[in-house]
Structure 1
């Protein structure tokens, strides 16, 4: 939907610590509902949001930095979409083009980590990344038909 008009819905800034994940989830649920995003799509966005926040706090800088989160929506013809963009000052990491690890054939062969990318790609319809002014900008998008 490149030609559609994006409508910023809400923004939130949280501290870069795990105790603020619930606040971000509540914000997303409330803001998404006000914007008319279906509950099933809010749930998909929330799974991505929590995974991305966990990665930021686990793999980013050790000093907690503010994390900015933005929700926007767009509808055009028969497709609507909602996007969440997370901006943080942690180490650069392009989740949209990172190579996924080979999935283990059994739990005994599994090693910690690596499934977050699988989750982000599975639950979002589009994943994009850019680095600007020393900040990561990770955006994940879900799409739905407005007639459903």
Structure 2
């Protein structure tokens, strides 16, 4: 399945993949629904219960995530008469984003972490590694490069 893509030039303001991403997953119930599927909850009722989302809104969000190619519906292994929601390749690529948002929330948004991510027998402490060279990424070594004609880091040139 291919994902529905947005032309960044059609967005208001700076052409930006972040803004385009938020068009797909930026509403209130999308990431919590993705989190639930990531945690192994594939049934609509499980997702609704665990997100607290109103069912009409959740149904619309799940439909949008399927249309965008982030989730797919397929028969449940234990009940092939019913369909569940599963991550596509695009959805799998969001797992790291969800983990980082959980980590950020643990540090800055909640009084104590309600969920911990584990790696084998210990807490997961991720680090970013450059896929091109294999080095651990130091944030001081990362810099943005504008690739859209007519724009600089400060904004539009015209």
Q: TM-score, normalised by structure 1?
A: 0.28
Larger Rg: 2
More helix by share: 2
Q: Which has the higher strand share?
A: 1
Q: Greater relative contact order (Cα 8 A, min sep 6): structure 1 or 2?
A: 1
